[in-house]
Amino acid sequence: MHLHFVFPRWQKLLEGRPELREALSGYEIGDFRMAGLGVATAAGAVPAGHGVTLVDENAELVDTSVRPDLVCLGFFTPQATSAYAIADRFRAAGVKVLGGGIHPTMAPEDALVHCDAVVQGPVEGLWERILADLAAGRLERCYRGDPAAPFARPRRDLFRRSGYLRAGIVQTARGCHLRCDFCIVPECYGRAVVLRPIAEVIEDIATLPYGCFFFGDENLLFPDAQSRAYTRELLRRMIEGGEQRDCFMATYPHFLTAIPESDLALMAAARVRQIYLIMGLSHPIGEELHHSEVLTAVQRMKEHGIEVLASFTLGHDGDVAPVAPAIANFCERTRTNLAEFVLGTPFPGTALYAALERAGRIIDRRWEHYNGAHVVFQPRGESPESLRERYVALWRWFYGPISRLAVRGRCVRGFGRGIFTPAGPTSS
């Protein structure tokens, strides 16, 4: 059979906010392409003997005149609008369409308006059944994946080699035992953490066609004993293997403060160059920014040569506007010079979305606007326009005019050289 994977387009920050183009000129922020991990992993799980092709609508047009046996759309909420347009065109020509990824998992009824069937959760272990059902002409509407299924090796080779940020995403786990109301992870991948075998992670890293990579899972910096032991072992194996790529991890302030000094040293030795620090999402940003422990933790990290890309989410109900002075103070005291500003976005299927919907506060259901650059719910205590203006003003303030050389310096310090220059055995 021929399976045709499609990675639908989504609106980049600068498409929705062209007024920020000048401020962000020269940064790898706001208008970049990254090869999707989920769709590449789904393609990697297809059993041998089937033909697999992939088109990324963010990089090229989707030709709907092709006639595969199955079109497989992998998408997150901001891609849903494009995904549905593609699905409708293929289905009008009689081609079956399967939806998978975060949005079909969280909002299957929405996806099933446009797709013949959806996969909820990981697709690993399901393909044989799906393809047998397809061949027999009896596709089911929903297939539920098993979070404990073996991890597939992503088919990153299906993406073009140029036009993308030279950074890959590496998966280390599925699921989360925490229950943050805004998060899609426990619902998509289970409420228990399933760790990917370290040998597989190391093998995956070794074949990355990029100069640096992000670890896609936050559990690496969770403070529980299992996560700590896994991360230490992974970092040791990276050091022993002489891994030369820079890598990035993500965490929240309350986990950052709990990282022991010895682990920071291990992270630095394994070339962890940057922490993507997510603020204002799980707690009001005002609370997090005033915590002296958070400031100290960032300063300690920097002493180990680990930079911060601070992600400031605006619009938390617990925030008392304005938060700009606290953000400015934090950035100055920690010498943070790479940041992003995100408008809080309740994703369908989460407890947060349900609560806002019950309260009549969802004001925009155009999925392409669920990209962190639009106000999609009624904020508490201010108008949507006021929140949007504060958001634009923060971007402009942070990325005010500086020389191109200084821009490059910031980016190299924050991301490492690998994001600009290819490295590693399979780089083009």
Distance of closest approach, residue 298 Cβ to ligand SF4, in angstroms? 19
Task: Return the number of the residue (218 or 243) whose C-beta is nearest ligand SF4.
Answer: 218
Distance of closest approach, residue 167 Cβ to ligand SF4, in angstroms? 20
Q: Which residues of 142-152 are buried (b: 16+ CB within 10 A; e: fewer)?
A: ebebebebebb
Distance of closest approach, residue 157 Cβ to ligand SF4, in angstroms? 28
In the set 102, 118, 169, 176, which binds ligand SF4 (CB under 6 A)?
A: 176
Distance of closest approach, residue 311 Cβ to ligand SF4, in angstroms? 12
Q: Per CB under 6 A, which region of 128-136, 175-183, 266-274, 420-428 contacts ligand SF4?
A: 175-183
Distance of closest approach, residue 34 Cβ to ligand SF4, in angstroms? 19
Distance of closest approach, residue 250 Cβ to ligand SF4, in angstroms? 9
Contact 63, 86 (CB under 8 A): no
Q: Per CB under 6 A, which region of 12-20, 107-115, 172-180, 376-384 contacts ligand SF4?
A: 172-180
Give the x/- contact pattern for ligand SF4 in 192-231, rule: CB under 6 A: --------------------------x-------------
Distance of closest approach, residue 228 Cβ to ligand SF4, in angstroms? 15
Q: Crossing angle of helices 324-334/384-398, nearest 10°? A: 20
Contact 5, 69 (CB under 8 A): no
Residues in a beta bridge with 3: 52, 70
DSSP state string for 271-336: TEEEEEEEESSSS-HHHHHT-HHHHHHHHHHHHTT-EEEEEEEE--TT--S--HHHHHHHHHHHT-
Task: Return the number of the residue (131 or 221) whose C-beta is nearest ligand SF4.
Answer: 221
Does 186 help bind ligand SF4 (rule: CB under 6 A)? yes
Does 185 help bind ligand SF4 (rule: CB under 6 A)? yes
DSSP state string for 62-128: --TT---SEEEEE--GGGHHHHHHHHHHHHHTT-EEEEESHHHHH-HHHHTTT-SEEEES--TTTHH
Does 180 help bind ligand SF4 (rule: CB under 6 A)? yes
Task: Return the number of the residue (19 or 181) whose C-beta is nearest ligand SF4.
Answer: 181
Tokens standing for 39? 């769709």
Tokens standing for 179? 């229950």
Tokens standing for 50? 């089937």
Residues at the interface with ligand SF4 (CB under 6 A): 176, 178-180, 183, 185-186, 218
